[in-house]
Amino acid sequence: MKYLIKLMLCLLVSAGYAQTKEVSITVDITTFPKPDSIYVLYNGLTQTFARPDQSGKYVFRIAPDLDPTVILLMDESKPAPIVLFLEKDDNLLIKIDSGDMPVFGGRGAENNRVNYLLTKTELDFDMHNKQINSQNPADLSGRVTAKWRPILDILERNKQKVTPGFYTYKSVSSKYKELDEMMRIPFTCQALSGKKLSECIPPDYWELQKRVKVDENLLSNFFYRSFMSYSFIKYLRNKEKNRLGMLDSTFSQEANVRLDLRNMDQMYTGKSKSAARRDLLITSLTEAKDIQVYKPLVDMYLDSMNTEDARLVSASYENNKKTALGVVPPYFELKDLNNKVVTLKDFAGKVVYIDFWASWCQPCRGEMKRGNPKLHPKFKDNKDVVFLYISIDDNYADWKDAIAQDKIDGIHLLSKGGMKSAVAKAFNIISIPRYMIIDRDGRIFDNNAPRPSQDITQDKINEALAK
């Protein structure tokens, strides 16, 4: 589930997939008891629910115009989520019984049969190889190859059975997902061994760049675009630091961004350069403690981007000013579990630790189960500290059940709509979990606060109390 949610969060930033018409998904669940409802995630975190129709089947009609990936989910007691691939005019039928694999029918069936095998092979490898037995960079490289070789073999064996669009999309996706994992090996090694990054470089690591193709025609593929905007940029940054003999040195966030932008200027062209600049600047603005630091960079690069990318960066800058340090946060009115309207003004004179979350977000709930019992007792006798939880769930029952299951102490509010909810938009929440600290004066003290499980969080709250 964690992998799937991460995937859908990432899809929020994808764009360019040419899908203009609705697709149809009909799900026939023959096991009992049937769920009251099931739902799909697509276009980022857009949720669409379906209940059984008169024939007992669940029918969806959606338009996944940002990316062909759609995820079918049921509650935790039912079969695992199913990752789908949907093209224009598909009319997919899915039969779910007690067997190990769903039965696919209708237009799009063969694509999804193969997609199920690809996804299952990838997830099974991750599931069965959670324990990494070697810290050696070369062994870690071999592990990545062992994971992706069978996936690529499945795709090649079924090339004549799937559509050209599916084959191309999955070929590109698999190549750049493998490269992404290869480029992350030094960080895996470092985390496992505690060695310096410079001691965790596999053989031929700096030659991986030769396998990367800068091609704006591939930008419609989410995995390619994500790789070019994030993984490859970090790789190029470290390659330059290695050349300078500074691979183990710590750069400031601003210095890293400046280096990344210079690397883009040298390595990228056309739409690829504009898209990568856009993604880097938007991410940096969202994560910035002091947004004014990035104003010169925004001004410097806007004129060299295409019109739409420049508009998005400008909009991000203006939006993130609303949650800059020291400003009064956006106003909201939300109802709590007792149907009482709550606003931030209700906590005047207190420090508020805000947790943006959702019931389907496993990292969010992991923090609640492990981090909250660690953090809350430190302030149990301090009535000037408020723990405020704002969920972006769409389903009231899911929200309420998660609170009860995880025994989450604090004040709970619901802002329906996922990443498109009013509060998520107002506070520029593009991924969860996300945390903020509001000081006694009702101003933003930390717009990207540490998690409850981190030791520094207690210090941050104490700093806000002492301000």
Count the Cβ atoms, other than its own, within 10 Å of residue 398.
Answer: 16
| Helix, strand, coil percentages for the chain (3-state, nearest 5) | 50, 15, 35
Contacts of 77 (CB under 8 A, 6+ apart): none
Q: Structure tokens of 30?
A: 């023959």
pLDDT at 306: 86
Secondary structure class of 99 (helix, strand, coil): coil
Average pLDDT, rounded, for the chain: 88
pLDDT in tens, 326-370: 889 999 999 999 999 999 999 999 999 999 999 888 778 888 888
The lowest-confidence range among 26-35, 81-90, 219-228 is: 26-35
For the domain made up of 21-105, give the CATH fold: Immunoglobulin-like (2.60.40)
pLDDT at 11: 40
**Domain layout of the chain by residue ranges:** 21-105, 331-464
Kindly state the helix (H) or strand (E) to which residue 295 belongs, with its residue range.
Answer: helix 295-302
Say if CB 411 and CB 388 are below 8 A apart: yes
pLDDT at 135: 83
Say if CB 438 and CB 445 are below 8 A apart: yes
Residues 37-68 as b or e (16 or more Cβ within 10 Å = b): ebbbbbbbbbbbebebeeeebbebebebbbbb
**Cα angle at 241 between 237 and 243, to 5 degrees?**
115
Strands 103-107 and 69-73: unpaired
**DSSP state for residue 329 in the 8-state scheme:** P
**DSSP state for residue 324 in the 8-state scheme:** S
Q: Is it the case that residue 80 has pLDDT exceeding 90?
A: no
Enumerate the β-bridge partners of residue 24.
61, 91
The lowest-confidence range among 114-128, 184-198, 287-301, 430-444 is: 287-301
The lowest-confidence range among 70-84, 136-150, 182-196, 409-423 is: 70-84
Enumerate the β-bridge partners of residue 71.
41, 83
Of 446 and 363, the one with more pLDDT: 446
Handedness of CA 52, 53, 58, 63 (dihedral sign): negative
The lowest-confidence range among 14-18, 107-111, 288-292, 407-411 is: 14-18
φ, ψ of residue 357 in degrees (nearest 5): -155, -175
Tell me how far the alpha carbon of residue 399 is from its chain's centroid.
20
Pick the CATH number of 331-464 from 3.20.20.70, 3.40.50.12160, 3.40.30.10, 3.20.20.80: 3.40.30.10
Taking the C-alpha atoms of residue 357 and residue 388, their distance in angstroms, rounded to an integer, is 11
pLDDT in tens, 134-171: 789 999 999 999 999 999 999 999 999 999 999 999 99
The pTM of the whole model exceeds 0.75: no
Q: Is it the case that residue 20 has pLDDT exceeding 60?
A: no
Domains 21-105 and 331-464 belong to one CATH topology: no
Q: Is it the case that residue 198 has pLDDT exceeding 50?
A: yes
pLDDT at 15: 47
Q: Structure tokens of 268?
A: 């990228």
Instruction: Write the DSSP assignment of 113-178 as a string of letters.
Output: HHHHHHHHHHHHHHHHT-S-----HHHHHHHHHHHHHHHHHHHHHTTTTS-HHHHHHHHHHHHHHH
Q: How many CA atoms lie within 13 A of 192 on its CB side?
A: 18
End-to-end CA distance of the chain: 40
Taking the C-alpha atoms of residue 357 and residue 156, their distance in angstroms, rounded to an integer, is 40
